Structure 1
Amino acid sequence: MRLSTLTKVAAVVAAVVLTATACGGSSPESGDGPPVADAPTFEAGTTMARLAEAGTLRVGTKFDQPGFGLQGLDGTPTGFDVEIAKIIAAGLGIAPDGITYTEAPSALREEVLETDRVDIVAATYTINDARKERISFAGPYYEAGQTLMIRSDYTAVTDKESLRASGARVCTVAGSTPEKNIAEFIDPAQLTRFDVYSKCADALRTNQVDVVTTDNVILTGFVADSDGAFKLTGESFTQEPYGIGITKGDVAFCEFINTTLQAAAADGSYAAAWDSTAGEISGEPAPELPAAAPCS
């Protein structure tokens, strides 16, 4: 089987969860980052005070998703989620070289928070009630929608309604929101599940599956990386508000993150984060920051 560029990159990862220390400075992919707060002060005992004093922020993110979280050959991920993490870190007075990144595949996002391997998860992480039983969310900071990706020469599927009748082989990630959403449109035997979306993209390229389904912005990155082999089909059929995962019940940290994101939207840092990552791939202008949900 011919490995795609993404799989070659993913081969750098030696384990399911791998921590890589971020490199300082700027790069064409990630831009210069937001301005870092100068010695901010926080109420004693809060998560913000602890992180600011330590001068480090541990971030769980994806390592295989172009535009949102893709690990480079130097071990450092780039993408919109990574830039959002930098915005949060900057509000704590932490520069990019004070951030460490841990791979957080869909099925492990709650676990890396619950086991204190990360301080936040920024990983195309849809806010929903089931997840809120285990962790809390700040945000949302972006709203995506689930759609379908097919090979450019594949004609049997045009939208979600044609999936079952066509018998198409559908791939998504185990434990993800898209897995639950797609269930009503296919028979169980049609579904293939992997732990990361790059494996679905490889399976699509090698004709082992016919359709990959997840959020539109994730699939747009794979389409851009496919040299014309893939395309999107059909309209988005869900609303997926992306949030920042944090330890359950940390209301003060949630409120800090929301305030920090609102400030970034006002000063242009949020738009710059989009334009240098997902926006560069999709060609879409920076979205408006969604209204923050109540912290709990």
Structure 2
Amino acid sequence: MRIRRTSATLAGASALALVLASCGTAEVGGGGGGDESGGADTITIGVKYDQPGLGLLEGGTPSGFDVDVATYIAGELGYSPEQIEWTEAASANRETFLQQGTVDMVVATYSITDERKNVVDFAGPYYVAQQDIIVAADNTDIQGPEDLSGKVLCSASGSRSANNIVDSEEDGGLGIDAELREAGNYSECMELLANGTVDAVTTDNTILAGFAAQNPDAYRMVNNPFGEEKYGVGLPKGSTEMCEKVNQAITKMWEEGKALEFLEKAFGETGFAYAEEQPALEGCA
């Protein structure tokens, strides 16, 4: 996998959630009674609102890498940017939103896992991140996950990142004895790090790079990545046909160079090294 240096431009947005109609194979089109080829008036997409470089709400519309990816996919499905209804999809409510029809799809640093595939479908991955750690700038003690033993570690509700460190090796973790502190989202984790309540925050390196770029004098990324986080497009269970269309859009996005364009726009000035080759698609069940 080739790697190159990267950047971040940030912005934000408002949102309305519409209801998704479903039958047999899930239909797309925020409550518009449309079909799977973009026949409805709108499409409702869940993204993050608090993650610089990925999904950030600052003003009228969200911006970031995930938002650009979602906009491209929607375009390939037949929806213009004006037909997209954005809604905030925090880590803790992504499955619920898809199950209840609040959104048509989720593009929100949504890692593909076997556990999640029991309740939702995934297209992709469209990007593979790695997990890392961020600490206060003057903290030189923590250089990797092994240094978190006895430390207070923050992760967002609904995320599995901290479990990857503290769970036993039998359960797929590193078995490190850190004290977990759960917050509502990663913005809250960063506030806890800033005031010294926690010693470190762990999640995907893409997410941490955005926060570090916002205040480089206050935070230090450990830059000792481990594991893989396969970012998928979350879809309601039973969306096999839609999944295949989204996978076609993802492949086209990489072949046209748009994915690298979106990555450079998001991370080019942060010093974060992003992967520049399309990850292998996992296929649609």
TM-score by length of 1: 0.80
Partner of 1:201: 190
Higher relative contact order (Cα pairs below 8 Å, separated by 6+ residues): 2
What are the within-5 Å matches in structure 2 for residues 32-51 of structure 1?
47=28, 49-50=35-36
Report which of the two has the higher share of helix. 1
Given that residues 136 and 220 in structure 2 are in contact (C-alpha distance below 8 angstroms), is that contact kept between their aligned partners in structure 1?
yes
Partner of 1:222: 211
RMSD: 2.3
1:234/1:275 CA distance change after superposition, 3 Å: closer
State the shift of 1:47 in Å: 4.0
Given that residues 26 and 239 in structure 2 are in contact (C-alpha distance below 8 angstroms), is that contact kept between their aligned partners in structure 1?
no
Query: Which ranges of structure 2 fall in alignment gaps of 5 or more residues?
Result: 1-10, 18-24, 30-34, 168-174
Q: Does 1:111 align with 2:106?
A: no
Q: Distance in 1 between matches of 2:260 and 2:41?
A: 26
1:293 to 274, 282, 285: 282
State the shift of 1:45 in Å: 9.2
Given that residues 66 and 218 in structure 1 are in contact (C-alpha distance below 8 angstroms), is that contact kept between their aligned partners in structure 2?
yes
Given that residues 173 and 195 in structure 1 are in contact (C-alpha distance below 8 angstroms), is that contact kept between their aligned partners in structure 2?
yes
State the shift of 1:84 in Å: 0.7
State the shift of 1:226 in Å: 1.2
Q: Which amino acid aligns with 1:82?
A: V
Q: Distance in 2 between matches of 1:210 and 1:285?
A: 26
Per the alignment, in what secondary structure is the counterpart of residue 215 of structure 2? coil
Partner of 2:110: 125
Q: Which amino acid aligns with 1:198?
A: S
Bigger drift between 147-156 and 173-182 goes to 173-182
Per the alignment, in what secondary structure is the counterpart of residue 180 of structure 1? helix
Q: Does 1:179 align with 2:162?
A: yes
Given that residues 147 and 216 in structure 1 are in contact (C-alpha distance below 8 angstroms), is that contact kept between their aligned partners in structure 2?
yes
Q: Which amino acid aligns with 2:81?
A: P
Query: Which ranges of structure 1 fall in alignment gaps of 5 or more residues?
Result: 1-8, 13-17, 22-43
Write the deviation string for residues 77-111 of structure 1: whole angstroms up to 9, x where unpaired.
10111011111111122111111111111111100
Partner of 2:151: 168
Per the alignment, in what secondary structure is the counterpart of residue 108 of structure 1? helix
How many residues align? The count is 256
TM-score by length of 2: 0.83
Q: Does 1:253 align with 2:242?
A: yes
State the shift of 1:286 in Å: 6.0
What are the within-5 Å matches in structure 2 for residues 17-32 of structure 1?
19-20=15-16
Write the deviation string for residues 146-167 of structure 1: whole angstroms up to 9, x where unpaired.
1110011012222111111xx2
Per the alignment, in what secondary structure is the counterpart of residue 281 of structure 1? coil
Q: Distance in 2 between matches of 1:95 and 1:62?
A: 20
Q: Distance in 2 between matches of 1:78 and 1:234?
A: 25
